[in-house]
Structure 1
Amino acid sequence: MKNICVITGGGSGMGLATAKVMGQDHYIIISGRTVEKLKKAIDELTELGIDAEAFACDVSDKKSVEKLAKHASKLGCIKSVIHAAGMSPNMADAEAIMKVNALGTIHVNDVFFQYMENGSCLIDVSSMSGYMIPEIIMPNKHYKLSRISHRQFMKKMMQRVNLLPKKHRTGVSYGISKNFVIWYAKTDAKKFAQKGIRIVSVSPGLFETPMGEMEKEISKDFIEKCAIKRYGKVEEIAYLFRYIADKKLSYLTGVDILCDGGCVASQLS
């Protein structure tokens, strides 16, 4: 049986860098909306001698996630899932961002819970933006609806987003969705532990990725306020993911790890 590592959003940036690290001792499945867009990533991994394949998956569609999980489980034992798929403020409208980032996390966690086994680890990728939206804006009292009705959950999230002026809605939707990811991972810890599965969220700061490049006009001002005044390298967070997923960290679960060069901490000083 192969040890499987599934990486959503694995075609570039953090996801691809993580595939290169995890591929040293795992069979890699990277997913994205279309297999065609993942071909270059697979070619890179193959050149490095890494066994990998691409699988089409839209995380905002639960049935699509189910197909990915079923496929992965047939190939071996799913040892780790790195859920890195997401949309930034410049990639889509506010509702699409909420669907991919928030509903996508719900679907990945809920579906892969059914297929993962004792000793495995799921990592949800959030963002330091989840820490930066003012508390008064956060609709966190409605997060519990995510476990009752996805329709009602989305309605409450978008009601809050739409209170803001249009020019701010994508950014606020992104921040709320990433704050939700942190909450969902933490509140899944008890359930996952019943099967011996660990779940951790990671909140990256400003990294050199294609997504990060799209946000540089906004993010360059944050760099000057960070403790470490540079963009992070994708390899730096890829090794963090690998370390978290290692079974040697078998007591680590239900927490968020902020990897942002001290950007959030610097706002407090």
Structure 2
Amino acid sequence: MTTVGIATGAGRGMGEACARRLADLVDVLLLVDRDEAAAASVAEDLNAAGHRATAEAFAVDVTDGAGLGRLADRVAERGALRAVAHAAGISPTMADWRRIFEVDLVGTALLAEALRPLATVGTAHVYFASMSPMIAGIDPTPDIAAILDDPLHPDFLDRIRDAVGPDIENTALAYPWAKHGVHRFARREAVRLGPAGARVCSLSPGVIDTPQGRQEATNHPSMQRLIDATPLGRTGRSEEIASVVAFLLSDEASFLSGVDILVDGGVYAAVRDH
């Protein structure tokens, strides 16, 4: 059976790095990005390099449910879903609070919903979250957690704003709340897909040297304090994140599911008790 992989946000940054690692794990690799030209450029490069996978670009916004349905149809046409590295996301300086929730949490849930019928023995998903909920100390009450656990509710955004309060409109707070939602969603999805023999984990990067990461550091001087506090004394590289993703999606991690993997150079360990 032909195996199919998906890398979202594959046109640049950590999504591209994940795509490059997955190119030798599957037979067909769909490079998903809003920027079709960027994804097509990566696909061309991968195909020219002679990897195992045939790479093809697939343009879609992860908040577009109909578009994600077409993505699922494309996977089914090409073979069996084997690996999903969902790196697409936006950070606090890139949009308002609603769009952050829509892309980072609702988009994750929409992608999972579209791909759920394709889960089979050996399918593995990794959803990108963040260390930010841990740094921010996000700890929802049961009522707020119940809202956060229903991101596809038609009134989700209004409900979460009413529950958390107007401070959620601060994108620096909306982002960790959305990523905390991804942590919770990954655990719940692991329970849903386990009976099919499929696995789900989330991955929480620390401060990673990408264009997006550099933009955040420029606009949020507090990020420099996190870099300074990192025991390894530096930012991470996209390739280091992709290496962990590749392990999580590999058969070597066949009993690993329902957990978050923190890849932050030790910064949370350094700041958690201070």
TM-score normalised to structure 2 length: 0.90
How far apart are the structure 1 equivalents of 2:168 and 2:133? 19
Aligned residues: 266
AA in 1 matched with 2:205:
P
Query: Against the structure 1 CA distance between its residues 105 and 139, is the aligned structure 2 distance closer, same or farther, given a 3 Å change threshold?
Result: farther
How far apart are the structure 1 equivalents of 2:133 and 2:83? 24
Runs of 4+ in 1 over 4 A off after TM superposition: none
Return 5+ residue gaps in structure 1 as ranges.
Answer: none
AA in 1 matched with 2:116:
F
Aligned to 1:234: 238
Return 5+ residue gaps in structure 2 as ranges.
Answer: none
Query: Against the structure 1 CA distance between its residues 252 and 165, is the aligned structure 2 distance closer, same or farther, given a 3 Å change threshold?
Result: closer
Query: Against the structure 1 CA distance between its residues 188 and 165, is the aligned structure 2 distance closer, same or farther, given a 3 Å change threshold?
Result: closer
Aligned to 1:107: 110
Aligned to 1:75: 78
For residues 201-246 of structure 1, what are the alpha-carbon distances to aligned partners after superposition, in whole Å with 9 as ceiling and x for unaligned? Answer: 0000111112112112222221011111111111111111111111
Q: How far 1:36 moved relative to its partner?
A: 2.3
Aligned to 1:258: 262
Identical amino acids, percent of aligned pairs: 29
Q: How far 1:120 moved relative to its partner?
A: 1.0
For residues 54-91 of structure 1, what are the alpha-carbon distances to aligned partners after superposition, in whole Å with 9 as ceiling and x for unaligned? Answer: 10111112212111111112111110111111011111
AA in 2 matched with 1:12:
R
Alignment check: 8 A CA contact 1:39 1:54 kept: yes
Please show how residues 55-94 of structure 1 align to structure 2 within 5 Å. Answer: 55-94=58-97
Q: How far 1:124 moved relative to its partner?
A: 0.6
Aligned to 2:227: 223
How far apart are the structure 1 equivalents of 2:86 and 2:211? 17
More displaced stretch, 143-152 vs 217-226: 143-152
Aligned to 2:40: 39
Aligned to 1:205: 206
Alignment check: 8 A CA contact 2:138 2:177 kept: no
Alignment check: 8 A CA contact 1:7 1:31 kept: yes
Query: Against the structure 1 CA distance between its residues 235 and 186, is the aligned structure 2 distance closer, same or farther, given a 3 Å change threshold?
Result: same
Q: How far 1:128 moved relative to its partner?
A: 0.5
How far apart are the structure 2 equivalents of 1:106 and 1:165? 20
